[in-house]
Structure 1
Amino acid sequence: MDSVGKSIHGAKYECLLFDMDDTLYPMSTGLNLACRKNIEGFMLQHLHMEGAEVPRLCLELYKEYGTTMAGLKALGYEFDNDEFHAYVHGRLPYEVLKPDPALRNLLLSLPQKRKIIFTNADKAHTAQVLSRLGLEDCFEGIICFETLNPPLEPVADCNDVLDHGDTVLAGGASQANATGLSLTDGRSFSSKSRVLCKPSLEAIKAAIRTANIDPNKTIFFDDSVRNIASGKAAGLHTVIVGSSTLVPGADHALRSIHNIKEALPEIWEGEGGQIVQVIQPSAVATVILA
C-alpha cells in the first residue's frame, strides 16, 4: 500500500503533465545517444540513405520537425511506424535505467490525482522505461505516439483501451473513438501521413483535449526548450527540467525532477495549505490512451 497526498480543495493545479525521456531520468544515462544511433542505423539499412549524410540529416530533421521520424515522413519516406519503433527502441540498453524509489515516493506524494505522461515515444518504449524506473503505477494515463497518430484500421474496443476499474483518461468517446484520437476538424493521422508530435502546438492542444484538462490548472514538465515554448503558447504552466535557468516560455526551472518539492512548494498547497494523506493500493496499472 502506498501513501498518496490528496488536497482537500482549492489547489492551484489540478493536473501534472510529464514528459518522460530525459525528464524522469537524466540524459546522462546515454539512452538518448543510443536512440539516435539506432535511428541512424534505420536510415542506413531500411531507407538506404547515403551514409555520410545520415548523422547531419538525422539531427536537422529532429530540430525542424520535433522527431527525426516526423521529418522523414515529411520528406516523403514511407515505412511502417511499428517497424521503425521496434528497430530504434528494441535495441536500447534499458538496463542502464534503475528503479528510482525517491522519485516514486515524490510522485505518490503529489496531492493532484491527475498525473499524466505526455511523450513522443511509442507505448512499448514508454512501458519499458516506466517499468525500469519503478514508476508504472504512478500515473493516471499516458499520451504517446499511438495516441496522436492512430492507425486508420480499427483497434481494440475503446473501453478496453481507456478503462481500468474507475480510471478513465480523456472522458470517453467524445475524446477518442475506435480508431484513436479524432481531431476537431475531422482529420486523422495514419502511418502514411505526417506525424503529429511535440513541439507542434497542434500536438499540445490535441493532448489537452485528449486528457480533458484545463491548461490554466495544469503544469507541464519537459526537458525540451521548444516543447516548453509550445506548452506555454497552449496556456499551460511550464517547468523546464534539466536546467537551473529559465528558458523562453518557462515559469520554473528544475535541475532535476527530484527538486520539485523544493522549487515548487505551491503544488502541495491546497485550501489553507492542508493536505490529507490517504492510502491507495500500489498495483494500479497506468492506462495508455492509444
Structure 2
Amino acid sequence: MEFEDRRGQVQRQKYDCLLFDLDDTLYPLSSGLAVGCRKNIEDYMVEKLGIEKTKIPDLCNLLYKNYGTTMAGLRAIGYDFDYDDYHSFVHGRLPYENLKPDPVLRSLLLGLPFRKVIFTNADKVHATKVLSRLGLESCFEGIICFETLNPTHKSTVSDDEDDIEFVGSKLSSSSATSKPEIFDIIAHFDQPNAGTALLPKTPIVCKPSEDAIEQALRIANINPHRTLFFEDSIRNIQAGKRVGLHTVLVGTSQRVKRADYVLEIMHNIREAIPELWESDKMAEVNYSGVAVETSVTA
C-alpha cells in the first residue's frame, strides 16, 4: 500500500511504513512486565508441564537461544499444550497497572505521516491490553500477533482470529503434531561439539525467524525496503535487516551492527530521527549514519 503523492514533493519519501515491536519497545523495560512474564513462564513449566524446577534456568536459556521464544522451544522438544491456556497463564498475572497512559508518545506517533503497524510475538489479548493501558490503541493500523502467524492452533476459525485489518490474509502452515517423547536439549548441548543441526523443529512461527518476518510483511502488504522496524531485541533487528528492513534498536544508546539507528527511549524519536518529520527533505538526507539518542526524557 502506497501513500498518495503530495503536491510539491519533488522526490518520494524513504519510508511508507513504521513497524513496531510491542513489549519493552513502546514502554520501558523498567515497567516490570518482562520480569513478571519470565516468572510466569517458569511457573507454567513447573505447574503445567511438570518440569523439574532445577532444570528451568538452563532449559529456558537454551530454548530462548535456539527457538526465539521459550514457548516455541517447548513445542519443538515435544511438550504439547493449548496455546491459549499458555498465554492466559503467562500474561494473565502481569502487573499491567504499571503501564500508564503515555500522551507524549501518542502525540509523536499520531504526528508521523506513515502507516504504523504492531508486530509482536505475544497474543492478541496481551497486545490490545498493553496498547489500551498506554492509550495508544488508535495510533496503529493493525496488530500482527501470535494468532496472525499461527492461525491453525484453533479447531475453528473465528471472524477476528487474525486481528482487525489483517483478517483474511492468513497463510497456511503445518499443524502441530505431538511427539512421542521429550527431546533432552540440555543433554544434547552437554555433548562435545553439539550443534543445532539435529535440533527438532518448532511448529510455532515467531520472531526472530526470517520466515516469520516475511510472512508478517506479506500479510500486512508491507514493503521491507520502505519500512522502518523498531525493536528492543538485537536478534530480531538482525533478522529484520536480513529481509531488507531498515532498523531501529530501542533501549540503548550504543551502536550495534545491523541497526541503522539506536534509540534509548521512544520519547526521543523526534530528536534521534528527525527525518521522519521532514518528509519534504527526506530524499536529501544522508542515511548512512546511526542516530544515537543523546538526551533522556523522564
Distance 2:275 2:86 in 1: 41
1:203 paired with 2:204, answer no
Once the two structures are superposed, residues 133-154 of structure 1 have per-residue CA deviations (whole angstroms, 9 ceiling, x without a partner) of: 1111110000000000112534
Distance 2:162 2:120 in 1: 18
Q: Give the match for residue 234 of structure 2.
A: 225
Closer/same/farther in 2, CA of residues 7 and 238 from structure 1, 3 Å limit: farther
Q: Give the match for residue 171 of structure 2.
A: 182
Once the two structures are superposed, residues 106-153 of structure 1 have per-residue CA deviations (whole angstroms, 9 ceiling, x without a partner) of: 1001011x1000000000000111111111111000000000011253
Closer/same/farther in 2, CA of residues 85 and 117 from structure 1, 3 Å limit: same
Tell whether the 8 Å contact from 1:148 to 1:189 is kept in structure 2 after alignment.
no
Distance 1:191 1:54 in 2: 24
Aligned residues: 251
1:238 alignment partner, SS class: strand
Closer/same/farther in 2, CA of residues 151 and 100 from structure 1, 3 Å limit: same
2:151 alignment partner, SS class: coil
1:62 alignment partner, SS class: helix
1:156, CA displacement in angstroms? 2.5
Distance 1:57 1:116 in 2: 33
1:190, CA displacement in angstroms? 4.7
In percent, how many aligned pairs have the same letter? 57
Flag the structure with larger Rg: 2
Tell whether the 8 Å contact from 2:68 to 2:206 is kept in structure 1 after alignment.
yes
Closer/same/farther in 2, CA of residues 87 and 18 from structure 1, 3 Å limit: same
Q: State how 1:241-260 maps to structure 2 within 5 Å.
A: 241-260=250-269
TM score, norm. by length of structure 2: 0.79
Distance 1:237 1:257 in 2: 17
TM score, norm. by length of structure 1: 0.81
Tell whether the 8 Å contact from 2:68 to 2:209 is kept in structure 1 after alignment.
yes
Distance 2:227 2:219 in 1: 14
1:123 paired with 2:124, answer yes
Q: Give the match for residue 134 of structure 1.
A: 135
Q: Give the match for residue 86 of structure 1.
A: 88
2:158 pairs with 150, 156, 159, which one? 156
1:137 alignment partner, SS class: helix
1:191, CA displacement in angstroms? 8.2
Distance 2:120 2:279 in 1: 28
The aligned amino acid for 2:80 is E
2:55 alignment partner, SS class: helix
Distance 1:162 1:39 in 2: 24
Tell whether the 8 Å contact from 2:148 to 2:163 is kept in structure 1 after alignment.
no
Distance 1:36 1:162 in 2: 25
The aligned amino acid for 1:80 is D
Q: Give the match for residue 278 of structure 1.
A: none
Q: Give the match for residue 38 of structure 2.
A: 36
2:248 pairs with 214, 239, 244, which one? 239
Unaligned runs of 5+ in 2: 179-201, 283-298
Tell whether the 8 Å contact from 1:148 to 1:206 is kept in structure 2 after alignment.
yes
Higher relative contact order (CA 8 A, sep 6+): 1
Tell whether the 8 Å contact from 1:115 to 1:140 is kept in structure 2 after alignment.
yes
1:7, CA displacement in angstroms? 8.5
